[in-house]
Amino acid sequence: MRIPKCMAVFGTICLLASLALRLHSESKSYDLSENQKLRLQVKQKDAQLAQMQLSIAQSGFQKTIDDFNAEVKAIEKENSWPETLQVNPQNLTFSEPPAPPKEKPEQKKP
């Protein structure tokens, strides 16, 4: 006796579903104790707080860089210096930017 194709497919689906349910019910559970969960929550909050502090520090750093650059522009204007000067923030010196490299004349290939 031959089983109709749709019955075979249905049977296979039922078999796979029952296997999946059995595997799911047999999978090991990894539950935390209340103490462990609380310890992880504290570390999670510490990390979130540190991230917020880092963001605030980065904003403050960017503001001081912007203030420094604004002061550089003000000094250039006070001294009637060109805006193309470069400033070395380490030793606070101004200088002309390096000259662009001269292009070598192209050599014709034989």
Domain membership flag for residue 1: no
The one-letter amino acid code at 57 reads: A
> Which range marks the domain in which residue 68 is found?
37-88
pLDDT in tens, the chain (110 residues): 455 566 666 677 777 777 777 766 666 788 999 999 999 999 999 999 999 999 999 999 999 999 999 999 999 999 999 999 999 999 999 999 988 888 776 766 66
pLDDT at 84 (0 to 100): 92
Domain membership flag for residue 102: no
Domain membership flag for residue 84: yes
Domain membership flag for residue 55: yes
CA distance 58 to 75: 26
Query: Number of structural domains, the chain?
Result: 1
3-state SS, one letter per residue, for the chain? CCCCHHHHHHHHHHHHHHHHHHHHHHCCCCCCCHHHHHHHHHHHHHHHHHHHHHHHHHHHHHHHHHHHHHHHHHHHHHCCCCCCCEEECCCCEEECCCCCCCCCCCCCCC
pTM score of the predicted model: 0.55
Domain membership flag for residue 64: yes
pLDDT at 24 (0 to 100): 65
Domain membership flag for residue 80: yes
pLDDT at 92 (0 to 100): 95
pLDDT at 12 (0 to 100): 76
